[in-house]
Chain A
Amino acid sequence: MNARMEQRPVPLCHVVKGVTITGADLEFGGAGARFTTPSLHLDDLVWLRTQPGPAFDVPLAEILDILVATGQWLTADPKGWVAEALEFTVRSSPLPRDVLETSYAGLGRMFSDRAGMEFQVDQELGGAASVDGWREVVTPAGRRVGVRAFPPRLVHIIAGNAPGVAAQTVIRGALTKGVHLIKIPSNDLFTATAILRALSAVAPGHPLARSFSAVYWRGGDAQVEARLFRAQYFDKLVAWGGESTIRTAQKYVGPGFELVSFDPKTSISLIGREIFASEDTLADAAERAAVDATAMNQQACVSSRVQFIEGSVEEIDRFCALLQVRLGVARPGCSACGNPLPADMRSAIEGLRGLEPYARVWGGYEGRGVVIRSEEPVDFHPDGRVVNVVPVDDLRSALRYVTVATQTVGVYPAPRKTGLRDALASAGVQRIVELGRAMQIVAGLPHDGFLPLSRFVRWLNDE
């Protein structure tokens, strides 16, 4: 029996309408990843429509004050809850400690960024006037009507591959003033509750705190989901990632209960022959390509996995060798060495090693990074710091590999974006960035092709 298996189950708390609930009534998870939760009381997880949500009429300025204070609280961590959540997360998350530490250190800043949150409301909802009340609109016929981004009732199935997702969910939820039930993912069990506990600590009993719950149930558990996922309690299901989540969601969506889906995504890079102008530009491009590939140890949707590049095979092989070295460098959001590659990925790569000149492989399986140069994209999903480099005559030839699942495309050098962006967008891409900036996500800009706050709220008229 190994050390992990001997560990006691990790205790998970719930937060229900701002109140922390503890208790080890239920146990989940496999060997080495067991955790306990309090039992669920479904009646406490809904906000009946007979009453407005607690924060529906709280002015946005007041909400921003509380969010900023929550951010400061998270950074200062006076009660040690954030540190505790981090420790538990280190034990249960697939991400390494240094990546989690960096992510946790950044949580407070997301909340303290008042200007950033105002930017979100301005960009996505047209300003505070739409949220705080009925914004006046004059129709072409000259009639004065009111339009309001009305607070929604949302249940969120969030992704757990980056702690920032929980923070972003709470911020977006607070900015819409609605009521929000967050289903905790088993790969990030502690972040959402740590944030909500901080919120309750800075504003005990405040309507905003009472507008949030975060609890765990096993994803797909019909005993819970069939009872909660109903138009009578919630307007929308906000679901992240995986096929299984969406499949489950489809069972429940119907009139009055709609799906807002952050679909599973993959990301790529397009690298022009300009990088071979000098050793400096080559090194710069390899560094940028590595930064984009290793974001959240390549667990994120923005992480670049396939990199199409112009050049001769000899040139491209020089790039591959440099890239492989740069993949093994520690950065914020990525450790120097990730987990060893799983057996399946390793086998898939081993099969390609004997196929020169069709393919060539750099790096080993220990987790520092592998680069595979192949004539076409590989059949498997590069993951765990594996980058597939595919030579092309022209960056436009990469378009045939672009689909609606392709989220971010990093382009180098940046001026090449202009000539490519419309074709990329037409093929399905949602975000085009300069190579090396994939992880620099700006809240308030479109996400996966839509404006999340705008999709979250209910757009209502007073005519």
Chain B
Amino acid sequence: MEYKNPGEETPMTPLRQQLLDMIVEPDAYDHPAGELLPLQLAAARELVAQRLDQISVLRRRADDTGVHEIRTLDDLVPLLFAHSVYKSYPATFVENCRWDRLLQWLQTLSVDKVTEVDMGGVEDVDQWIERLGAAGHRILATSGTSGKCSFLNATEGDYRLKVRHFGNSLGWPVMKPNRDRAVFALFPRSGPNSGIEAGRIGAEVWGRPDSAHFLTAEPLRIKDVSAQAALRKRMAEGSATPGEVAAFQSQNAERAERAQAGMARLIDKILEHRREPIVLTGLWAQHLAILERARTLGVPDGDFNPQSVVSAGGGVKNVALPEDYKERVAQFYAGVQRGGAYGMTEQAQIMPVCPARRYHCPPGLIMLILDGPGERLLNPPGNLGGIVEGRFAFLDLLYDGRWGGLISGDRVTADFGERCPCGRPGPTILDTIARYAQVGEEDHIGCAGTIDSYVSGALAS
């Protein structure tokens, strides 16, 4: 593999550039599938040809599957990564501070050369991420329920294009962000996490200078997440002492208390600003907390400025929410613009929601609907046909730092009809996105299992 140095520009292939640049046009989301598909396919062909020589995991995948050239959308399917590839490094690399080995691993999934980044004196994974950032590699980390983080590399250019994409997709199709209002993002101000990054980009594109409010200035630290995973592992092995577990829990409790205090202050500030147009982004449970505080203060439903944009999201796994949480939140914010977009950490080009509550696909995102196992493409020929239910996958043409092809864990219903009920062309994703539980397999019972079942949920913070 020939790795290029960060910042060293390789010109984007013209078709890819053309598709990505469409986002700045007013009709970005108005192109019919028949017009886009041939361009997308050609851009994917060019991109794959380039990336095969740059990303060793992709190269091996191509060699294993015999797919070296993209002629149809079906050819992309064997080349898509499962999200788990981005957490396929051994966790001991982090536990034992083997930053060189972690770089070696990251290199196999990166376009730019990362193995020469100086890691001298690095003591934890956050510093590892910072060093990479300083050298032009923007790492996003996610944490799964296991606590093991994925690390996804992107370039500075990728980030700039992502900001541009957000600037042209947030508020769509009703409003366009123009830095004129207060922004409330119920996340930490900084940290290598996609939710935080999205909050920051939102503040940048919507916010008046100096009027962005975050949950806390305390950065989200990945080492806390990793520490939890490491402790959990040692508990499983039986080497963690009860005292260690107790200390960890009280540390978590303190942090939660600080976060709660910050949240209470921020909620009051949000409610003070409710009569002016604002942008408010948070998780479902956080919106319920705002609602509850409003009740106490006697703030009625529908009291926010109709020019405000409020979006709610985030996973609802392991969060106790009332069954009608969506309805309650909708009622509380009645009258405002309920923005929203579908996206995930692995995806730069989010899909904004239309007034018909459907998610629309930007020109630079190739949407692939797969069967349950993620092996077969269900898109109708020419991306024109009926309703298809399946696993959401995509090739995000934006990334220069890594391969943008991914199979998600989401079960979606996609409408490949010519037009969305909102009048714009399809395809669209319906507002019925769910996780891929292994339907019908919920009571498959076997005698084989791991020590993970033996660690009681003592580490929930």
Contact = CB atoms under 8 A, between A and B. Distances in A.
Interface in A1-59: 2, 28-31, 33-34
Contacts of B372: 30-31
A159 B101 contact: no
Nearest to A267: B448
Nearest to A366: B64
Interface string B103-120: 011011100000000000
A186 interface: yes
Contact of A299 (B57, B83, B448): B448
Contacts, number: 178
Contacts of B237: 400-401, 403
Interface in A417-463: 427-428
Interface stretch (B40-48, B85-93, B294-302, B361-369): B85-93
A378 B90 contact: yes
Interface stretch (B2-10, B133-141, B379-387, B434-442): B434-442
B81 interface: yes
Interface in B403-457: 407, 439-454
Nearest to A219: B443
Interface stretch (A109-117, A128-136, A201-209, A257-265): A257-265
Contact of B445 (A30, A31, A240): A240
Given A343-B407, A344-B84, A364-B64, A218 B446 contact: no
Nearest to B448: A301
A240 B450 contact: no
A358 B448 contact: no
A344 B82 contact: yes
A266 B60 contact: no
A405 B440 contact: no
Given A343-B407, A347-B81, A374-B90, A405 B445 contact: no
A263 B453 contact: yes
Interface string B236-269: 1111000000000000000000000000000000
Interface string A350-372: 11111100110000110000000
A353 B237 CA distance: 26
Given A264-B450, A343-B407, A405-B454, A160 B88 contact: no
B238 A241 contact: no
A161 interface: yes
A343 B439 CA distance: 17
Contacts of A157: 445
B107 A405 contact: no
Nearest to A364: B64
Given A353-B60, A358-B90, A400-B237, A303 B448 contact: yes
B445 A185 contact: yes
Given A263-B453, A354-B57, A241 B374 contact: no
Contacts of A241: 445-449
B449 A347 contact: no
Given A376-B92, A403-B236, A264 B442 contact: no
A243 interface: yes
Nearest to B105: A355
A187 interface: yes
A245 B449 CA distance: 12
B56 interface: yes
A287 to B, nearest CB: 22
B107 A376 contact: no
A404 interface: yes
Nearest to A187: B444
B450 A159 contact: no
Contact of A405 (B64, B442, B451): B451
Q: Looking at B105, B371, B373, B440, which has the most chain A CB atoms within 10 Å of its CB?
A: B440
B179 interface: no
Given A218-B443, A347-B82, A405 B450 contact: yes
A318 interface: no
A219 B154 CA distance: 44
A395 interface: no
A7 to B, nearest CB: 13
A262 B61 CA distance: 40
A158 interface: yes
A348 interface: yes
B443 A265 contact: no
B148 interface: yes
Contacts of A343: 82, 84, 373-374, 407
B447 A351 contact: no
Nearest to B81: A347
B84 A299 contact: no
A218 B439 CA distance: 12
A244 interface: yes
A254 interface: no
A265 B449 contact: yes
A220 B443 contact: yes
Contacts of A160: 444-446
Contacts of B87: 351
A264 B89 contact: no
Contacts of A381: 450
A246 B57 CA distance: 39
A191 to B, nearest CB: 13
Nearest to A403: B451
Contacts of A378: 90
A165 B444 CA distance: 13
A161 B448 contact: yes
A157 B81 CA distance: 37
A266 B451 contact: yes
Given A28-B440, A403-B451, A161 B90 contact: no
A26 B324 CA distance: 29
Nearest to B440: A30
Interface of A: 2, 28-31, 33-34, 94, 157-162, 165, 185-187, 218-220, 240-246, 262-266, 299-301, 303, 342-344, 346-355, 358-359, 364-365, 374, 376, 378-379, 381, 383, 400-401, 403-406, 427-428
Given A351-B105, A359-B90, 18 more contacts: A30-B439, A30-B441, A159-B445, A165-B447, A187-B444, A219-B442, A220-B442, A240-B446, A241-B446, A244-B442, A266-B448, A343-B82, A351-B88, A351-B89, A355-B108, A358-B101, A403-B454, A405-B451
Interface of B: 56-57, 60-61, 64, 81-85, 87-92, 101, 104-105, 107-109, 148, 236-239, 371-374, 407, 439-454
28 contacts: A31-B372, A94-B444, A159-B446, A185-B443, A185-B445, A186-B442, A186-B444, A187-B444, A219-B445, A246-B453, A265-B447, A266-B448, A266-B449, A266-B450, A303-B448, A343-B407, A344-B82, A347-B88, A348-B84, A348-B88, A350-B60, A350-B88, A354-B56, A354-B104, A355-B101, A403-B237, A405-B450, A405-B454
